Chains A and B, each alone.
Chain A
Amino acid sequence: MYDGAVQDLIDELGRLPGIGPKSAQRMAFHLLAADPVDVTRLVGAIQAVKDKVRFCDVCGNVAEGERCRICLDPRRDAHAICVVEEPKDVVAIERTREFRGLYHVLGGAISPMDGIGPGELRFAELMTRLASDEVTEVIVATDPNLEGEATASYLVRLLSSFEGITVSRLASGLPVGGDLEYADEVTLGRAFEGRRVMSRARPPAPTADPRAAEPAADPSAAEPAADQTAASAREAKTAYAPTGSE
Chain B
Amino acid sequence: MPLYRDEGVVLRTHKLGEADRIVTIMTRTRGKVRAVAKGIRRTKSRFGSRLEPAMVVDVQCYEGRNLDTITQAVSLATYGDAIARDYPRWTAAAAALETCDRLTEEGEPNLQQYLLIAGALRSLADDVHAPELVLDAYLLRALAVAGWAPSFHDCARCGDPGPHRAFNLASGGVVCPGCRPPGSAAPASETLRLLAALLAGDWAIADASEVRHRLEGSGLTSAFLQWHLERGVRSLRLVERA
Contact = CB atoms under 8 A, between A and B. Distances in A.
Contacts of A114: 234
Contact of B84 (A149, A185, A187): A149
B127 interface: no
A57 B220 CA distance: 42
A153 interface: yes
Nearest to B12: A113
Interface in A155-188: 157, 175, 177-178, 182-187
A113 B235 contact: yes
Given A18-B18, A145-B49, A186-B49, A113 B85 contact: no
> Which of under 10, 10 to 19, 20 to 34, or 35 or more describes the interface residues of A?
20 to 34
B100 to A, nearest CB: 11
Interface of A is mostly: helix
A112 B98 contact: yes
B44 A177 contact: yes
A182 B46 contact: yes
A184 B238 CA distance: 30
B20 to A, nearest CB: 10
B52 interface: yes
Nearest to A156: B87
B66 interface: no
Contacts of A115: 234, 237
A17 B91 CA distance: 29
A53 interface: no
A187 to B, nearest CB: 5
Contacts of B48: 182-184, 186-187
A236 to B, nearest CB: 17
Contacts of A185: 49-50, 75, 78
Contacts of B90: 112, 146, 150, 153
B144 to A, nearest CB: 23
B84 A150 contact: yes
A117 interface: yes
Contacts of A146: 49, 52-54, 80-81, 83-84, 90
Interface in B184-242: 234-235, 237-239
Nearest to B44: A175
A183 B50 CA distance: 10
Given A157-B87, A184-B50, A186-B78, A117 B44 contact: no
Contacts of A18: 17-18
A184 B12 contact: no
A154 B87 contact: yes
A171 to B, nearest CB: 13
A158 B29 CA distance: 42
B85 A149 contact: yes
A154 B12 CA distance: 20
Nearest to A186: B49
A153 B87 contact: yes
B12 A112 contact: no
Interface string B46-61: 1111101110000000
Contacts of B101: 113
B94 interface: yes
B86 interface: yes
Q: Looking at A147, A154, A182, A185, which has the most chain B CB atoms within 10 Å of its CB?
A: A185
B91 to A, nearest CB: 6
Contacts of A149: 81, 84-85
A35 B94 CA distance: 52
A181 to B, nearest CB: 10
Contact of A153 (B78, B86, B235): B86
Nearest to B50: A184
A95 B68 CA distance: 37
A182 B48 CA distance: 9
A112 to B, nearest CB: 4
A139 to B, nearest CB: 18
A117 B75 contact: no
A153 B84 contact: yes
Interface string B86-115: 110011001101100100000000000000
A183 to B, nearest CB: 7
Given A112-B95, A189-B81, 11 more contacts: A18-B18, A111-B94, A115-B234, A145-B52, A146-B80, A149-B81, A150-B90, A153-B85, A153-B90, A186-B78, A189-B78
19 contacts: A18-B17, A112-B91, A112-B95, A112-B239, A113-B101, A115-B234, A146-B80, A146-B81, A146-B83, A153-B87, A157-B87, A175-B43, A184-B48, A185-B49, A186-B75, A186-B78, A186-B81, A187-B48, A187-B49
